[in-house]
Amino acid sequence: MDFATLIDVESLRALIGTPGILVLDCRFDLAAPAAGREAYLRGHIPGARYLDLNGDLSAPVSAASGRHPLPDPEALAALLAGAGLGPDTQAVVYDDSNGSFAARAWWLLRWLRHPKVAVLDGGMSAWLRAGGALESGEPSRGAAGQSRPAAVRVDRRAVLGTDELIAALDNPRTLLIDARAAERFVGAVEPIDPVAGHIPGAVNHPFTANLRADGRFLPPEELERHWHDRLAGASPADVIVMCGSGVTACHNLLALERAGFAGAKLYAGSWSEWIRDPSRPVARG
């Protein structure tokens, strides 16, 4: 069986140690960037490789970019090939933050046109609750890695830059969905970025609304009902998702696909790129 959205703990446990499986640990803490790797070294799912949000899953920040620009696709493809990703590899990504960082890795692999990638439902917490084994330190490199990736062909239709977003917002069919918490969306608080508020016309769907109380995703039929109401008749092809920096928006993209509404696009720069130019409008409330 191929896994393309989520994978449960028992299915992953059955795959550990078999050929053609690559597990990627994406734990990260925005307030303490080294904490994810430190947690990985203390204990991770056996055989997992570590991917750092800032260093691996993002490019360096520029004066015009958001906080987590998309990585160079050639560099990312080479990194993944070195970790053992081949054309037929089943990749599994996980974190300990409700899937918020793992979903970024999931989307990036899909952007690189690798369909066999899934987020571990419930992440490290679910793995530990089920008694999953851990190993510490760096895994043995062995002979897993490929020397070079296959030709890189990103899915350019899946992502928008700021100029493309501005053009899309002129289309009355466009639905822009912001994944940040409600209090950040309305501008009541802003703990990260220098400007509070949201892009005029956007609607709010916090990524945490995709989850059960234990951190696992809602069942597909419940996700379908929630997203059917949020889309309100909009075609997924007209949906653009965003957040603070293009990370948790990927969680909504994963939930949309799980709910049967594949085809939405990512505004990669998101709020932190939008506010780089003070002439761009800001809404509050």
State the catalytic residues. 243
Backbone angles phi, psi at 75, to 5 degrees: -65, -40
Pick from 51, 36, 66: which is nearest to 107 by CA? Answer: 51
- Which DSSP symbol is given to 231? H
Chain Cα centroid distance, residue 217: 14
> Looking at the DSSP assignment, which residues form a beta bridge with residue 23?
92
Give just the sign of the alpha carbon dihedral 114, 71, 196, 266. Answer: negative
Secondary structure of 133-191 in the HEC alphabet?
Answer: CCECCCCCCCCCCCCCCCCCCCCHHHEECHHHHHHHCCCCCCEEEECCCHHHHCCCCCC
Residue owning tokens 């560099």: 75
